[in-house]
Amino acid sequence: MNFKYTCSALAIFAMSATAANAETLRLLTWGGYAPEAVIEKFEAETGHKVEVTKSNNEEMVAKLRATNGGGFDLIQPSQDRIAGAQEEFGIYKPLDLSKIDTSLFIDSMLEATKGNTMMDGKVFAVPHVWGTSGLVVNTKMAGSVKDYTDLCNADVAGKVSYRLKRPTLIGFAFAMGMDPFAAYGDADAYQGILDKVEAKLIECKANVKTYWDGGDEIKNLLRSGEVIASMAWDTGGWQLNADNADINFVAPASGALGWIDTFALPSRGRADEAAYAWINFVMQPEIAAMITSEAGNFTASKGGDAGVDDALKARYQTSFPQEAVDNIKWYPAVPAGLEALEGAVLDRVNAAQ
């Protein structure tokens, strides 16, 4: 009798404990980073609820800026959007690394991200998903396209697309033999690089069919054959490759541009416990493999690539021989104020006739 009472009391206690601890995690992330199956498992295991909002880098920063860092509990901007945005708008709060199981992370990536997002000795982000942007090419029709500047070749005129965003500026600068990342700290030198890129992009404009905005838009254009060469993300290329073997992601001669999407806490987030629980949950190798299958990109989870299907691995290896991996240009943190210089250039390119 006594035993029974203790048991039920314990059960009630346990239930109320989970109820008190259960939080709603408002996650601001990219499409594919929080698959339905992963959310269900997480909710069943921890009792926390997850609400997902899909977005992109610029919108994430803009949204948090509008609310002074409120409205979300965990966000996933790229690592280059942490330090500058923090300095300017103060929208993040430092991570408590003791609450994160760092043994789940690939060490080199964890260290790189920590270094990149460090401010005043505090770490603001840990890595999650990484990938590159480079060229997606219909190899049968546009075999000549090996580098960003090849998009301006006459033989692909009118069948080319890229975004009017900063990766395009960076990619063209590298392909033109300059190193924009080295000039990040020096506004005048950077402006010099941008001026040359601007002239090139204006000259190249006649070649462009349209500037694409969203991932689905460029995939449609490539699939229909209206565009045969484009700057795009590696996953987009691999997805198209599954449907049409002629189309694939090509790491440009001057180097693919590597990004790492991170976990960061908004400064006024309310469900930190749930956020840390989510980080530790999705970095487990088997969960990371589920996310890789959904998003198409690999994660910073140690052993997370083991459970990924062979077709995706094969595509990755075709696009990235070892020297191409070594040649990846990883985005360093964007200093505050750089966007204004780039924005003026992009506006002028957009307006050029």
Partner 1 sequence: MTSDKSKLGFFLLLSPLLLWLMTLIILPHVGMFFVSISEKVGVRQYETGFGNYAVFFNEPLYWNTFARTAYMSIAATFLTLLIGFPVAYYIAKLTKGRTKTTLFLMCLIPFWVSELVRTFGWMILLRETGVVSNFLQYIGLVDGPIEFLYNDAAIMTGLVYTSMLFMVVPLVTTLDSLDDSLIEAGYDLGGNGYTILREIIIPHAMPGIVSGCIVVFMLSLGNYLTPILLGGKDSLWFTGLIYSQFITRFNWELGSAFGFLLLGLSSLIVFVGLKLSRQSLTETMGR
- The answer to whether 295 and 129 are in contact (CB under 8 A) is yes
Among 62, 199, 242, 245, binds partner 1 (CB under 8 A): 62
Please report, for the chain, how many H helices and E strands are present, in that order: 14, 15
Please report where in the chains the tokens 């990924």 appear, as a residue: 308
Say how many CA atoms lie within 13 Å of 350 toward its Cβ.
Answer: 12
Min CB(71)–partner 1 separation in Å: 16
Nearer to partner 1, 154 or 340 (CB): 340
Min CB(104)–partner 1 separation in Å: 33
Cβ neighbours around 78 below 10 Å, total: 21
Contact characters 158-187, partner 1, x per CB under 8 A: -------x----------------------
Q: What angle do CA 91, 95, 96 make, to 5 degrees?
A: 150
Scan residues 188-217 and list those touching partner 1 (CB under 8 A): 205, 208-211, 213
- The answer to whether 134 and 256 are in contact (CB under 8 A) is yes
Min CB(274)–partner 1 separation in Å: 28
- The answer to whether 19 and 49 are in contact (CB under 8 A) is no
Min CB(243)–partner 1 separation in Å: 15
Min CB(144)–partner 1 separation in Å: 21
Min CB(350)–partner 1 separation in Å: 6
Whole-angstrom distance, CA of residue 139 vs CA of residue 155: 13
Q: Kindly give, in sequence order, each residue whose CB lies less than 8 Å from that of residue 127, ignoring residues fewer than 6 positions away.
A: 79, 105, 106, 109, 110, 112, 113, 260, 261, 262, 263, 300
Q: Does 340 bind partner 1 (CB under 8 A)?
A: yes
3-state SS assignment for residue 48: coil
Nearest to 205 by CA among 86, 348, 72: 348
Scan residues 63-102 and list those touching partner 1 (CB under 8 A): 65, 85, 87-90
Nearer to partner 1, 6 or 68 (CB): 68
Min CB(168)–partner 1 separation in Å: 12
Scan residues 214-243 and list those touching partner 1 (CB under 8 A): 224-226
Among 43, 246, 273, 339, binds partner 1 (CB under 8 A): 339
**Which residues of the shown chain bind partner 1 in the complex (CB under 8 A)?**
58-59, 61-62, 65, 85, 87-90, 165, 205, 208-211, 213, 224-226, 336-337, 339-340, 343, 346-348, 350-351
